[in-house]
Structure 1
């Protein structure tokens, strides 16, 4: 539900009662992953999605029922030849969905409100919920902060050591938050790995990943726009003040006038950061890429012709960059879409970033035997580095 935190935070601020349906388990070709959510308020308003349309109607009705009863429920939606159209999951997948009321008078409301406020503001937070176990514990909620402190409780009837249960869940959630991972885990109801099992869904809310675009050229403007659309915090950096201006790049979160390698030395990056080098000028590219290829970032791509690419590799080798580091470089940047315009080129670059992040091959789905949705997507969105293009 943290993926729709901004809207739900507003609902909390307005005092609305609502129910949240959250995907907690999937199988086969399910369209959404654990953590995806649909919320419905008492006025019938809705935000989010759990299936991309397959079972939205049935889940919407369940949310309305839960708002009336105040009871958390877990429902399964599956596929078979007989009931494909009855359930709506004609894609061939299956999913379990937890539907939880979040009403003003509910004890867990402040916990949800705090988690949504933090996520909406871009502050790291983890939300832990019991998704399987004794009925009396279903939907119990714990908020975990990066410093290990927590609010709320997972404890309820039948739990003999509430402090131990919450402490164990908080440590688990803290590790998943640190990795940027959303997913499920099992612990014992007494806080150990033994005892009656509880299934937990841990949702990690992190600030948006960074995209840093180097080079204030026309292609950069289109890439900045598509980067924002994909949810990145986008920085445009160029050493030339006449070109690097907020007026030329109004969609960028920030425009920095600095030599690219100096800015990269001074700024913070992580395993979700993507670096797009569009300058194709050796005096900028080489010192920048020499540093970039040694950083634990998700993606490093550089624009230029194949001749430029070969010259760039030779210069980087002369600078002492090793072959394993060079193998991380996506150059020429982007997938082969036959792109010509800045917008088409930006789409090509964005497609490669998404494929790298999600484990996609980049081949057409028509006639292919590759999965549509790749499992095991990552902990923090960290990409896989492929061979040199």
Structure 2
């Protein structure tokens, strides 16, 4: 729901449908949302199109009555147009009307605060929490950086482009970046908060920038550290990093040359290659064509590359921002009585939907 927040906040009223449970194979994960606005307009999605029309009708009903609704959609082969999931799974959808608490939570999330909201339907209590988006730090103000910033923002990262050269590091050259910083890369990284969801991509192609910032990055528990360059550049870079005191265990974390082997050469194609590796690392993917695999397309949460540590890390996170009596805190030690409904589909790191034990 959080990715819909800017539009939802611009509407004077809306109904929003959220996927609260997934069983088997389903097109969208737990936390996916679709909203209907005052004129019947639609944003977002809860499936691959299989049940959108039915959910739209349900949302229009909720918009009219202000009464929340709960529905389950499963596989149906009765007719070609039956309401169901053709992929064979099933999902539960909760539809609710906008209210001051929900609007306050959405605004707080847009402002970058961790937020958890609680709502009830059919005697059950659901909790949805949003952590701040993961960060993507791009070092090197080159054309490739503009493309990486654009696709990184599309993937939901908070993107920063940093370069020591003010003539190149300008907001006009990187309109997709959330922030553009003029500073030496290693100095900026040393003074910047990161965590194990942060990704660093170094594109500078200049040892005087590359080596210090990579040495700093590899000393931190980041989710991803990648650097652009040829195999010869990579070999020379490894030697310089060893001379700088970076250990062999840390060097194995460096993804260089960064990106998956897609065969492209342009900045846009290179950015797709880098983004593909980011996604694969984040979710534990192989990077191989699906046609060559027989494993499930959608992995369970436990098989994701970085999501399981994030689940464990919740217990150490600060309590989420309170929202008008509806906040529960981030799932974990603060609200252990609300287990997560993980389902069998992917669960994005910034969306958590839990089922409570009652209406308390």
The two structures share one fold, judged by TM-score above 0.5: yes
Change (3 A) 1:281 1:99: same
Equivalent residue in structure 2 for 1:93, among 67, 86, 89:
89
Change (3 A) 1:42 1:240: closer
Unpaired runs of 5+ in structure 2?
312-347, 350-360
Equivalent residue in structure 1 for 2:71, among 65, 71, 75:
75
What whole-Å deviation, never above 9, does each CA across 1:190-239 have from its counterpart, x for those lacking one? Answer: xxxxxxxxxx5332223332211111222112212222222322222122
Shift of 1:250: 3.2
Shift of 1:68: 3.9
Map 1:220-231 onto structure 2 (within 5 A): 220-231=145-156
CA distance, structure 1, for counterparts of residue 177 and residue 104 of structure 2 = 29
Shift of 1:280: 2.5
What whole-Å deviation, never above 9, does each CA across 1:258-299 have from its counterpart, x for those lacking one? Answer: 221111111222222211011122222122111101212221
Q: Which deviates more from structure 2 when the two are superposed, residues 55-64 or residues 319-328?
A: 319-328
Change (3 A) 1:80 1:352: same
Equivalent residue in structure 2 for 1:30, among 26, 41, 56:
26
Map 1:360-375 onto structure 2 (within 5 A): 360-375=285-300
Equivalent residue in structure 1 for 2:187, among 249, 262, 269:
262
Shift of 1:359: 1.8
RMSD: 2.2
| Residue in structure 2 matched with residue 156 of structure 1 by the alignment | none
CA distance, structure 2, for counterparts of residue 41 and residue 344 of structure 1 = 36
CA distance, structure 1, for counterparts of residue 239 and residue 224 of structure 2 = 21
CA distance, structure 1, for counterparts of residue 79 and residue 242 of structure 2 = 60
CA distance, structure 1, for counterparts of residue 67 and residue 73 of structure 2 = 19
Change (3 A) 1:93 1:314: same
| Residue in structure 2 matched with residue 4 of structure 1 by the alignment | 4
CA distance, structure 1, for counterparts of residue 127 and residue 237 of structure 2 = 44
CA distance, structure 2, for counterparts of residue 34 and residue 27 of structure 1 = 10
CA distance, structure 1, for counterparts of residue 126 and residue 237 of structure 2 = 46
Higher relative contact order (CA 8 A, sep 6+): 2
Equivalent residue in structure 2 for 1:129, among 113, 119, 125:
119
How many residues are paired up? 307
| Residue in structure 1 matched with residue 258 of structure 2 by the alignment | 333
Instruction: Give the TM-score taking structure 2 as reference length.
Output: 0.78
Change (3 A) 1:357 1:318: same
Q: Which deviates more from structure 2 when the two are superposed, residues 282-291 or residues 35-44?
A: 35-44
Instruction: Give the TM-score taking structure 1 as reference length.
Output: 0.73
Map 1:28-177 onto structure 2 (within 5 A): 28-82=24-78, 85-102=81-98, 109-130=99-120, 135=122, 137-138=123-124
CA distance, structure 1, for counterparts of residue 174 and residue 35 of structure 2 = 35
CA distance, structure 1, for counterparts of residue 173 and residue 226 of structure 2 = 22
Change (3 A) 1:85 1:370: farther
Rg larger in structure: 1
Task: Report the 3-state secondary structure (helix = DSSP H, G, I; strand = E; otherwise coil) of the residue aligned with 2:209.
Answer: helix
What whole-Å deviation, never above 9, does each CA across 1:64-119 have from its counterpart, x for those lacking one? Answer: 233344432321111155467512311222101112233xxxxxx22112112212
CA distance, structure 1, for counterparts of residue 27 and residue 250 of structure 2 = 35
Equivalent residue in structure 2 for 1:247, among 159, 167, 172:
172
* Conservation of the 8 A alpha-carbon contact between 2:76 and 2:83: no
